[in-house]
Structure 1
Amino acid sequence: MWLYFRFPLSFREVEELMLECGVVVSYETVRRWCLKFGQAYGHSLRRRRPQPGDKWHLDEVFIKINGVQKYLWRAVDADGMVLDILVQNRRDKAAARRFFRRLLKTTQTVPRVIDKLRSNGAAHREVMPSVEHRSHKGLNNRAENSHPPTRQRERAMKGFRSPGSAQRFLSAFSGVSPHFRPGRHRMTAARYRFEMTIRFTIFNQITGACGLPAVA
């Protein structure tokens, strides 16, 4: 299952790769596994992450679902780790308030500073009045830089079919994919291999695949 969430592959391509490794599994089985376990695995990986930093970056982008424009809300910490992601129909005070409340409940912490769009100030004052709000050009680049992997998967999947399926996939994707992206450009090859070994071990512990290849 990690193949599907880590790389821009279709279910059929995962089936083909598994067959080359000598594992016979249908693409429909892979799809059912992702639907059933993806979000749970993503949440488990998030819980194992270090406490997020006290500076959060928020952003939202347009996405098309069956030709209808929706909004993808995202929050990341100062290290670029995704704190939460939410698909919504609107980009207004009510939508911002819902996302802020969900974000605080998910992280169980309150930031010191948030960088976000000026238009969400009313919701910020209502939900997090004690948190410093910074809003000017360039501050939320960290959040914007986390969108490309999602866009890449959106293109590979030829778009999302419904808001519900988009939310389910992105909840799992934002938990699993970053787990296998430790920032290779900042590590030596030996350090990177060591770090990936640790991360595969953690993933196998979560999926119950200890002692087996990391192909949950």
Structure 2
Amino acid sequence: MWWVSSIYEGFRFPREIIGHCVWLYHRFTLSLREIELMMAERGIEVTYETIRTWCTRFGPEYARRLRRHQPQAGDKWHLDEVFVNIGGVRKYLWRAVDQHGNVLDILIQSRRDGRAATRFFRKILKHQGRRPRVLVTDKLASYRVAHRRTISTTEHRHNKYLNNRCENSHQPTRQREHAMKGFRTVGSAQRFLASFSRISPHFRPPRHRMTATAHRTERATRFQVWDQVTEQTLTA
């Protein structure tokens, strides 16, 4: 198997229940108490605090394993930043996606100046291990600073009308933020969104660009991958 031992050792509930609760929390705008109620309707008595523990413990691991199944990122990267209120303080959520809409990385920072943009650029490059062919951003001057400091040989297109792909990828995060009534700390927000940005898009194939048959096939494939990363289907 591609992992040595089960991550569920020491947990009382079956992996199917744990995986299902984590999936519900990351895919839909459900609160922990709503998931607790849904489990109770099925005769499964589990508290919302236990579900919270599962999401905190297993969400990052599921996201890490999903990353192994994600195809190599495209060579055209779209970057954007949006403000989020964390504990009543304005912070900035930086996000990068490729031309296919796959999330490459996210980072929460206090500023959106050249130093913050450079830090985000370097984080993406470290994780991706290569440079993009084209970089697309809006006209924020910080991107030009980071581009000059890190990947000056890459073509940089800065036009707000070219960056809808990245801006659209913020929508699920906004919906989740609203359902959670905001985030309390930067650390908890970074940890959750790092997992959410990997798990949620996995179950959001570009349906508008697919036939009904192709969408059903793709959906089934993605559920098979999910079964593997949650150890419901063990692979040799």
Specify the alignment match of 2:74 in structure 1: 53
| Displacement after TM superposition at 1:140 (Å) | 1.1
Specify the alignment match of 2:149 in structure 1: 126
Provide the rounded CA distance (Å) in 2 between the counterparts of 1:137 and 1:187.
27
Specify the alignment match of 2:112 in structure 1: 91
| Displacement after TM superposition at 1:99 (Å) | 0.4
| Displacement after TM superposition at 1:20 (Å) | 2.0
Provide the rounded CA distance (Å) in 2 between the counterparts of 1:33 and 1:156.
19
Change (3 A) 1:83 1:18: same
Letter in structure 2 aligned against 1:126: R
Provide the rounded CA distance (Å) in 1 between the counterparts of 2:138 and 2:210.
33
Letter in structure 2 aligned against 1:97: T
Superimposed CA distance per residue, residues 31-74 of structure 1 (whole angstroms, 9 cap, x where no aligned partner):
01111111121122122111111111000011111111100000
SS at match of 2:161: coil
Are 1:67 and 2:88 an aligned pair?
A: yes
Are 1:170 and 2:170 an aligned pair?
A: no
State the aligned residue count.
211
Specify the alignment match of 1:214 in structure 2: none
Letter in structure 2 aligned against 1:114: L
Provide the rounded CA distance (Å) in 1 between the counterparts of 2:39 and 2:213.
27
Superimposed CA distance per residue, residues 96-147 of structure 1 (whole angstroms, 9 cap, x where no aligned partner):
1110011011222210010113412111111112211111231111110111
| Displacement after TM superposition at 1:8 (Å) | 0.3
SS at match of 1:210: coil
Which of 22-31 and 159-168 deviates more? 22-31
1:151-166 maps to which residues of 2 (within 5 A)? 151-166=174-189
Aligned Cα RMSD in Å? 1.4
| Displacement after TM superposition at 1:149 (Å) | 0.7
Provide the rounded CA distance (Å) in 2 between the counterparts of 1:14 and 1:138.
39
SS at match of 1:73: strand
Please list every run of 5 or more consecutive structure 2 residues that lacks an aligned counterpart in the other structure. Answer: 1-21
| Displacement after TM superposition at 1:25 (Å) | 1.8
Please list every run of 5 or more consecutive structure 1 residues that lacks an aligned counterpart in the other structure. Answer: 212-216
SS at match of 1:177: helix
Provide the rounded CA distance (Å) in 1 between the counterparts of 2:161 and 2:208.
23
Are 1:110 and 2:131 an aligned pair?
A: yes
| Displacement after TM superposition at 1:78 (Å) | 0.5
Provide the rounded CA distance (Å) in 2 between the counterparts of 1:201 and 1:21.
23
Q: Is the 8 Å Cα contact of residues 96 and 103 (structure 2) preserved in structure 1?
A: yes
Specify the alignment match of 1:6 in structure 2: 27
Specify the alignment match of 1:35 in structure 2: 56
Change (3 A) 1:21 1:187: farther
- Given candidates 158, 173, 187, the residue that maps to 1:150 is 173
| Displacement after TM superposition at 1:77 (Å) | 0.5
Provide the rounded CA distance (Å) in 2 between the counterparts of 1:129 and 1:41.
35
SS at match of 2:215: helix
SS at match of 2:160: coil
SS at match of 2:91: strand
Provide the rounded CA distance (Å) in 2 between the counterparts of 1:111 and 1:104.
9
SS at match of 1:51: coil
